[in-house]
Amino acid sequence: MNNPVWEYAPAPESRAIANLKANYQLFLDGAFVDGEGEPLKTVNPATEEVLAEVSTAAPADVDKAVKAARRAYDKVWGRMPGAERAKYLFRIARIMQERGRELAVLESLDNGKPIKESRDVDIPTAAAHFFHHAGWADKLGYAGYGPDPKPLGVAGQVIPWNFPLLMLAWKIAPALACGNTVVLKPAETTPLTALVFAEICQQAGLPAGVVNILPGAGDVGSELVNHGGIDKVAFTGSTDVGKLIQKSLAGTGKKLTLELGGKAANVVFDDAPLDQAVEGIVNGIFFNQGHVCCAGSRLLVQESIAEELMAKLRARVSTLRLGDPLDKNTDIGAINSKPQLDRIRELVASGDADGAERWTSPCPVPDKGFYFAPTVFSGVQQAMRIAREEIFGPVLSVLTFRTPAEAVAKANNTPYGLSAGIWTEKGSRILWMAEQLRAGVVWANTFNRFDPTAPFGGFGESGFGREGGRAGLEAYLDV
């Protein structure tokens, strides 16, 4: 007798909860206004439908926003006691929680990520960053940066499309807690939750000019970071753009933090709990469709267990459900944009051409929308593009090693240095590996764990500076 095959019934979240509007405006000096730039249309990557038309900033709008932020800093926010600033941050955090379901649905519509990730990870963690930094606002004198550290002034911030609201929280919460004002440019393809956050700032009664949101393409970001009225620049995005920003700001005296690309190694030793490791590998590379700068995109497996681990991994990946991001059963949603999908396809084709062995999940792929099935390459060599370049998609490259020293050498054979993972039962090996690995964050027997109390950042071509925790405050203080 054959066992029955149980399939998940569709469990769609209501799209209506997003309160989607046909048009969105800039948020400048406490009010929503039309920008002077060419409007953009933001697209649902799961269906390729236009969600809304969004007003964008021109150079004149950037100038107005920076001046508004300067006035707010000089007259209100910069001189406000930390305990009073904290009240606003607490209020914002609570409203984010209250509007969490709305924000989660809107994020999944605009970004393509599964609703269970935006609902259970992105929005709660974004609110947690505001709660955490609200607690710091009146305690900066005890953060280790002197008895009375001062804010920098006006921060220009540019964020990516992979975690739109969460990256906003990583940038805005510490800036406000330290007494700075902000002009933020969301990603061109995912501006909607940032503009709803602007509504939340209004709800919280945040003084005009403290937060300004300017949607637009890369030209708006360039105008912002190079504006003479900016004291601090924070950028999360590609390494190539990060290099351009660093070059343009050299000698200006502006403080800069960069959180850039990654090609993280996830190292599995022969004594690791394999089933637990498989879950960590899947979470490390297929979470958020692989659109994660610290994704565990290079799997290093000890040779003696490689065959067994790969069999378990393929079986587990075969169970991942790809499809409608608003379905609560969906594990892998849509790739954020057509250009990103094209890049993933190009790099996967290079893996085929270089002789790596490709295995692709047999899951059905929707006919419409930007989707890419989970893919695992084995037989990967270190010189291959798929082992060296950031794919930023649901593609895993698997290499093997024999000794811990070889594992370290292969893990560090990258210009990036953002994160790494270690899977072993030996505590001494974890500590030894963590010391040897050139990575800003090292996870042990887990992966992709984030907490607002812990600093995050890398070095090398993964950038510099830290976000989160006590260490992350330094980037927004004159120390």
Which residues belong to the active site?
Answer: 259, 293
Sign of CA dihedral 150, 158, 242, 450: positive
No. of helices (H) and no. of strands (E), the chain: 15, 18
Sign of CA dihedral 437, 441, 442, 447: negative
Task: Please say whether the beta carbons of 252 and 229 come within 8 A.
Answer: no
- List the strands of the sheet with 255-259, edge to edge: 31-33, 26-28, 211-213, 181-185, 154-158, 232-236, 255-259, 463-464
Task: Please say whether the beta carbons of 417 and 390 come within 8 A.
Answer: no
Return all residues near 139 (Cβ < 8 A) that are at least 6 apart: 82
Write down the residue that tokens 């190539």 correspond to.
240
Give the burial string for 346-380 (b: 16+ CB within 10 Å, else e). Answer: ebbeebeebebeebbbebeeeeebbbbbbbbbbeb
User: How far is residue 230 CA from its own chain's centroid?
Assistant: 23
Beta bridge partners of 360: 375
Concatenate the DSSP letters of all residues of 11-45 into one string: -BPPGGGG---SEE-EEETTEEE--SSPPEEEEET
Give dist(CA 249, CA 105) in Å, integer. 37
Nearest one of 225, 280, 271 to 427, comparing CA atoms: 271
Task: Please say whether the beta carbons of 228 and 248 come within 8 A.
Answer: no
Task: Please say whether the beta carbons of 214 and 227 come within 8 A.
Answer: no
- Stated as kind and residue range, the H or E segment containing 432 is helix 427-436
Strands 441-444 and 419-423: parallel
